[in-house]
């Protein structure tokens, strides 16, 4: 079994341990945030970690009413600018905990005397040591080029932070369903993908579309297929796709559409119908019976009851699709001629 598949399959176990391992730190962190009266979050991250931060940006807005910003780290690391972070909770997110430009943001935040948090999979990493609070993925070593279990564990940690900050028992209960849902998905999804994946042996490009809280999964899903299969992929928000990018779609071109039960379902259905009218081929990822009949190429995930938690299962579905496509194409997803597992951006 390739490392990528092993790491994808470890996700239910990894997710099941995160709350117990981090809840005391999260409670202490939230207590200090509230004592200081801070009401803004500034995320510093790159790539997959940035996608996890966007997921948290939605959650904190929906449940806690907290506005969040995504950092532009080079403003600090390259331009030498001074950002006023004293009224923000600054959260650096990185699997390795070695991102130098993220570290530069965290160090400036410490100079401003605000709360600095690290979310990493390396307890002894520079970011973990720099932070006042470290939220630990505890995912074990991840060796495949593509981040899988570290991505969903970052999302889960940030979601637990949101649940504690907002005091939402609803969100807490939904998050408790995720490990079991992930295990169910691993039982049911591989055979669904096997039925369709062979037709994409010669795939050279595609888009992944979603809206709302699943938008970062469109970004992450496109990245998984791109970096493992060396094809041109890009994720878009459905709302943005109408404003120009739709022009790239033609008859028989491939689009993935994430149609999640929830407030964005009708937007996703409308996009599938638009793509169908063009003659494009659409793979629909959904937990909705209403959306499942829109395409013969539908991947149905277990329903967890909310689009707040369906992103975990949609992310894993894209991971599995990327992995199975490498098998059809005869590629090794665990290595890359051009990518490194740890990328240090300054």
CB atoms within 10 A of CB 161: 28
The residue from 145, 176, 207 where one domain ends is 176
- CATH number of the domain that residue 264 is part of: 3.40.50.10490
Q: Are residues 306 and 184 both part of a single domain?
A: yes
Residue 205 and residue 101 share a domain: no
pLDDT class of 335 with cuts at 50, 70, 90 = confident
Residue 176 pLDDT > 50: yes
Residue 340 pLDDT exceeds 60: no
Establish if 340 belongs to a structural domain.
no
Distance CA 148, CA 294 (A): 29
**Is 284 strand, coil or helix?**
strand
Question: Are 320 and 200 in a shared domain?
Answer: yes
* pLDDT for residue 246: 87
My answer on whether 20 and 125 are in the same domain is yes
- Cα within 13 Å of Cα(24), Cβ side: 2
Count of structural domains within the chain:
2
Pair 119, 198 in one domain: no
pLDDT at 7: 97
Q: Would you say residue 180 has pLDDT above 90?
A: yes
Q: Answer whether 316's CB lies under 8 Å from 182's CB.
A: yes
What would the pLDDT profile of 183-199 be if each residue is shown by its tens digit? Answer: 999 999 999 999 999 99
User: Can you give the pLDDT at residue 336?
Assistant: 62
Average pLDDT over residues 14-27: 98
pLDDT tens digit sequence for 258-315: 999 999 999 999 999 999 999 999 999 999 999 999 999 999 999 999 999 999 999 9
Rounded Cα distance between 102 and 309, Å, is 27
Express as a percent the part of the chain with pLDDT over 70: 97
What are 106-133's pLDDT values in tens digits?
999 999 999 999 999 999 999 999 999 9
For residue 85, the 8-state DSSP code is -
Domain end marker among 113, 147, 176? 176
Residue 335 lies in a domain: no
Q: Judge whether 343 lies within some domain.
A: no
pLDDT for position 345: 66
Question: H helices of 78-177, where?
Answer: 100-111, 126-130, 149-166, 169-176
| pLDDT tens by residue, 206-250 | 999 999 999 999 999 999 999 999 999 999 999 999 899 988 999
CA 177 from chain centre, in angstroms, equals 18
- What's the sign of the alpha-carbon dihedral 169, 301, 219, 7? positive
Q: Name the packing angle between helices 310-329 and 215-229 (round to 10°).
A: 20
Q: What is the largest CA-CA distance in the chain?
A: 57
Q: Is 256 a member of any domain?
A: yes
Task: Identify whether residues 91 and 213 lie together within a single domain.
Answer: no
Q: Which residues pair with 136 in a beta bridge?
A: 120
Residue 224 and residue 120 in one domain = no
Do 189 and 159 lie in one domain? The reply is no
Asked if pLDDT for residue 14 goes beyond 70, the answer is yes
Q: Where are the beta strands (DSSP E) in the chain?
A: 41-45, 68-70, 89-93, 116-120, 133-136, 205-210, 232-237, 254-259, 281-286, 297-300
| Domain end among 125, 156, 176 | 176
Is 89 a member of any domain? yes
Q: Residues 93, 206: one domain?
A: no
**Claim to verify: residue 169 and residue 188 sit in the same structural domain:** no
Q: What's the domain range around 143? A: 3-176
Output Rg (C-alpha) for the chain, integer angstroms. Answer: 20
In a domain, 338, yes or no: no
Residues 262 and 191 placed together within one structural domain of the fold: yes
Is residue 200 located within the same domain as residue 246?
A: yes
Q: Looking at the domain assignment, is residue 69 inside a domain? A: yes
- 342 CB contacts (<8 Å, ≥6 apart)? 95, 96, 98
First to last CA, the chain: 35
The pLDDT assigned to 341 comes to 47
Which pTM value belongs to this model?
Answer: 0.96
Q: Do 106 and 60 contact (CB within 8 A), yes or no?
A: no
């Amino acid at each position: 079994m390739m490392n990528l598949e092993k790491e994808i399959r470890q996700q239910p176990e990894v997710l099941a341990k995160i709350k117990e391992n981090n809840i005391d730190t999260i409670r202490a962190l939230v207590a200090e945030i509230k004592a200081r009266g801070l009401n803004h979050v500034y995320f510093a991250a790159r790539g997959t970690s940035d996608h996890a931060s966007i997921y948290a940006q939605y959650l904190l807005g929906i449940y806690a009413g907290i506005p969040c910003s995504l950092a532009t780290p080079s403003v600090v690391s390259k331009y030498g600018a001074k950002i006023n972070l004293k009224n923000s909770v600054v959260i650096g997110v990185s699997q390795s905990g070695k991102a130098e430009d993220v570290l530069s943001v965290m160090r400036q935040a410490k100079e401003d005397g605000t709360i600095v948090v690290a979310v990493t999979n390396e307890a002894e990493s520079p970011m973990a040591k720099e932070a006042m609070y470290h939220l630990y993925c505890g995912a074990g070593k991840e060796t495949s080029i593509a981040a899988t279990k570290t991505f969903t564990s970052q999302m889960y940690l940030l979601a637990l932070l949101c649940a504690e900050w907002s005091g939402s028992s609803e969100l807490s209960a939904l998050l408790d369903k995720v490990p079991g849902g992930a295990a169910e998905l691993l039982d049911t999804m591989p055979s669904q993908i096997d039925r369709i994946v062979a037709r994409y042996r010669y795939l050279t490009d595609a888009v992944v579309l979603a809206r709302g809280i699943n938008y970062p999964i469109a970004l992450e899903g496109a990245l998984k297929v791109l970096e493992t299969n060396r094809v041109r992929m890009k994720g878009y928000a459905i709302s943005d796709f109408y404003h120009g990018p739709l022009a790239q779609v033609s008859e028989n071109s491939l689009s993935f559409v994430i149609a999640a039960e929830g407030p964005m379902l009708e937007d996703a259905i409308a996009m599938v119908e638009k793509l169908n009218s063009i003659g494009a081929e659409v793979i629909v990822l959904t937990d909705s019976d209403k959306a499942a009949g829109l395409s013969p190429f539908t991947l149905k995930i277990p329903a967890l009851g909310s689009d707040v938690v369906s992103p975990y299962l949609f992310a894993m579905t894209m991971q599995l699709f990327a992995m199975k496509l490498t098998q059809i194409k005869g590629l090794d997803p665990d290595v890359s001629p051009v990518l490194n597992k740890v990328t240090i951006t300054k």
